Chain A
């Protein structure tokens, strides 16, 4: 146990924690994105609402939801700890900016991107999660096979009728894209995975992932807003 606690107190261990939690969140994105993409079936939300119903009633998924929140919190807390320590590591800043192409801007600004994502996330949770778990949706349930299902589809439609919300969501997804662009391959590096053959593959998969997932997410509010989904 002492070696585990010393691991997470060390710089390398903290990176490891960021990487592990990051990859875990990445796996959540895949599930979330896949299910939400069911809106594009364009069947009035039936398929999507069925899937959402399953997700909200399955005990395993509900357990994972708790784990997910713990993961997010760990990721954020660790980031704050690291950022604080990193600030202390250079008390006097440089006067001249580094104009060279030493590193990507989004790699240097992960904290800011993460903060933007967090702001988006709070809004997003308020829109959907709080409603469906606690306060109840604004829209009536959809009856499928005689069973009432939360009509999250209709909820989305009503939330995304507002232009500013759509803009905020799209900005949130742009932040997520850049966050992933760094974070995806970086997580593997932190886990000690760097290989002449596989790392280029990981990098390319990471780029594709960082583009596709946020793009699909961003298309959802846009599609509702422009009435492409009925």
Chain B
């Protein structure tokens, strides 16, 4: 049994009492304590900035050329906060409840409640930084709704909320860089952690320009390195998003929790061909105004406009009348897959469904016509005005869609299909966000903590910033207060030298294979195995064979890979190869975890475990736990953290 170090007391007082009681580090001691932050996305940038503001000496690393480019920037729709500005019944408890339920009762209550509690502070902080959230005419902040909720609690900045939040955090970070409190290392990739006397004491990073390996000491190391969706090759992640930092930590003893929980996002632009390198999301916010449908007839070849209303199947509204098009992502994705598998898909590949804005364009157009006092407006006038309203809300997304597909979504419905988007699993952390390795923390998507088996829309931004701005500044004191007598350790120590040599040898091994195939060749094959057998639907047989296939693919990789150049130069192929090498190991663990979890929950859908209506069937008796895997040679040991629900009645999730 794992000890998550959850504070005692009633749920709503846990965080407050923790903050009052946790040991503090006095300002002069903070100046002597060094913290390494790996990753500069929402979690990393906010943590690095906040810790530096407190007085700690911070080093921050990112592989991109600037901290402003982390993939948090691509989040579109918004960020949740229990502000209840809309007076529609929201509260900290309701946000907590929605998140636990949305996560299919596989998240830790205390963490989620804390997340809901600090959510409101995040909005305050971001506004103070100058984040230009959408506003109403009165100057007040605007809200919209997102999947899996019945209140309007999502704050947004057009379709670029992630960008604006990240730039806010980045500006806070740059401010600290300017004062010298943070040393920024861009174009640096962490390739190992350094362990001394059972504690994490630093990292080995590669300068991606020169190829030089560097040693960096830290009293604590924070991994804020995002998710591992790119194990599927095609995903909405950035090309560089990777699991390497977390995986290296895993290999040094950190446990990896719930790796099989993968979020497949329902509204992405479908794959167009073999050349495709990544998938593009169309924000979930579009489901506020778009209706999802397929033809009622199989293999219907008519154009969408030619299919009359009564021959359309608005399957989400049909199956889930209470939430309709705003069901959570896992539910919407599976429903789309079900329709397409049954032969009702649309588009050339038949692997897509329509997301149609006509209905709401008409509705908005009519409202506008009334506002402008137009009598008997023509259909065309109404549609023109309706399109303008939709353009103001989602213009950038519509443009992006047109750019990618060559089709105009104002005229024809969007074609969408689910795609890998987010990974709920990650390094196991306790209430302090510390992994089982002392001194090693994981924040944001890199940890497993808050979303259970399925993340609700607009919650990732919330969690990343909560961890960085409002959790770690308190919880890290809990550990560092015990480290004030530890002087900075010289990077000349043997442990640093060993770790560096280990990294160097690993890179030499990669460049030395001298085979015939490119990195992408292997990555694509791994992605296909994962998508087919560990994707939206999984079963015992498929997972079993996937494990074997991945093992043999890995063997092939290490025999037949070709990388030009050496490790002593800017070498993007080598960077990719090192990441894919880790994905090839992670993929196996994911299948392993999916195979062991004999139930369906959230993003993990095992075909053997479903209700008669095709909904996920949990097994709370046996699987209401976090599966944290520790590496043990070539195998993994399971460490269970049982989940207790004292404040929520655990039930079958229903959005009907």
A and B touch in the complex (CB under 8 A): no
Which residues of A are in contact with B by a Cβ distance under 8 Å?
none
Which residues of B are in contact with A by a Cβ distance under 8 Å?
none
